Amino acid sequence: MPDVRDAAFPLKAAEEITRLLEITEGRAFCLFTSYNQMKDVYARVLQTVDYPLLLQGTSPRAALLEKFRNTPNAVLFATASFWQGVDVPGDQLSCVIVDKLPFAVPSDPIVAARVKTLQEEGRNAFSEYQVPEAVLALKQGFGRLIRARTDRGVLAILDNRIERMQYGKIFIASLPDYSITRDIQEVERFMQPHP
């Protein structure tokens, strides 16, 4: 994947999401950090897959979740409000795809105030506040996938900073001890039905 700031990222994200949805036969949450990026990628994926695609903002949150739970092979495109407090146990949700590491928007007044306070205290706001908050959000996103002991699935992170940047190790270390791969064939093998 290109860098998340690269103009080619939305196209490449749509292509990767399409590949993953073909492997998982839909049954996925695609979680975005930006509403505009969500709509852009949704429009691209809509052209390439036959699975029922649901888009945050087209119906109330509860109605979208109910439709997702009751529609075989559904895919939900959503932002922050779906990163937590959503329970879809079983095979209906087999994949959570995250476009970017979920850092809070720096221009958000609360985030900006906390960053400013830490900086005024001579502390590193990025490592002490922004990274831990994003790690917690990613763990909550992952938590959508594994709701019961018998659940299994794939967490796909499209943001290459998780490997490229030093702080990426903190994100990886925060997740449960599951297999990690960059090989799409390994994902295909994992998603094969088990007897």
CATH label of the domain that carries residue 168: 3.40.50.300
pLDDT tens digit sequence for 37-89: 999 999 999 999 999 999 999 989 889 989 998 999 999 999 877 766 677 76
Residue 3 lies in a domain: no
Among 66, 52, 43, 64, CA closest to 21:
52
- Phi and psi, residue 136, nearest 5°: -60, -45
Residue 128 lies in a domain: yes
pTM: 0.88
* Distance separating alpha carbons of residues 38 and 77, to the nearest angstrom: 7
* The two three-digit tokens of residue 22, written as one number: 């073909």
* Distance separating alpha carbons of residues 21 and 185, to the nearest angstrom: 14
- For residue 15, the enclosing domain spans 9-186
Residue 156 lies in a domain: yes
Residue 98 lies in a domain: yes
- Phi and psi, residue 12, nearest 5°: -65, -35
Residue 1 lies in a domain: no
Residue 2 lies in a domain: no
pLDDT tens digit sequence for 89-141: 678 888 889 999 888 877 878 888 988 888 888 888 888 888 888 888 888 77
Q: Which amino acid is at 181?
A: T
- Three-state DSSP state, 154: strand
Q: How many domains does the chain have?
A: 1
The CA-CA-CA angle for residues 47, 101, 169, to 5°, reads 135
Residue 194 lies in a domain: no
Q: Is 49 exposed, middle or buried (0-12, 13-18, 19+ CB in 10 A)?
A: middle
Residue 57 lies in a domain: yes
